[in-house]
Amino acid sequence: MFKYYDESAIKTTAYSGLNWTFYRYADVLLMLTEVNWSLKLAGEAISDNDIVKGINEVRARALLPAYLPAEVNLFTIMAERAYELIFENKMVFDQRRTRTCLISGMGSFTGITSFFGYRPDSFSFDFSAMNLLSPVSGEEIRRNTQLTQNFGFLPKGTGQ
């Protein structure tokens, strides 16, 4: 709790400039589904009930039919995250984490493909390794000359 202690906000201003991370319950449930599915894929003893529990709770709240354990895969998890967390800027992090992209169709997702070389409909470039990471800010590079910039972003660090 000390990490989030803002003495000025508590004692004087009642306003804090700390960067808080908020997770919606649906986001946590979908993360739970992805983790359990990944663990089962890696050979861990995860029950089918544990895999579908999170995603089906989200779908039940939306009055959608439940998934069977055999229907849950990375495509269904990513699609559910895209629908449930729309306009919450989560998809880019999902794509970076899984290194996959959903293929957009007419009103639904038609499949899943590799992140590398994929070009979304409204983009003028293909995704590459450069798009997996964000650039390091120029201020950070100025303060720490040992930092190197990520994949072709500017400004470059000393010695790059």
SS3 47: coil
CA dist 57 and 62 (Å) reads: 9
Domain boundaries, the chain: 2-127, 134-160
Whether 81 contacts 88, CB under 8 Å: no
Single-letter amino acid, residue 98: T
Q: What is the pLDDT of residues 105-144, one digit of tens each?
A: 888 999 999 999 999 888 899 998 888 888 888 888 888 8
154 confidence band (pLDDT: 50, 70, 90): confident
The model's pTM: 0.79
What confidence tens digit (pLDDT) does each residue in 48-78 have?
A: 999 999 999 999 999 999 999 999 999 999 9
Q: Which two three-digit tokens encode residue 49?
A: 């009930």
- Helices 91-98 and 74-84 pack at an angle, to 10 degrees, of 160
Are 112 and 74 within 8 A, CB to CB? yes
Fold for domain 2-127?
1.25.40
Q: CA 131, CA 63: separation in Å to the nearest integer? A: 36
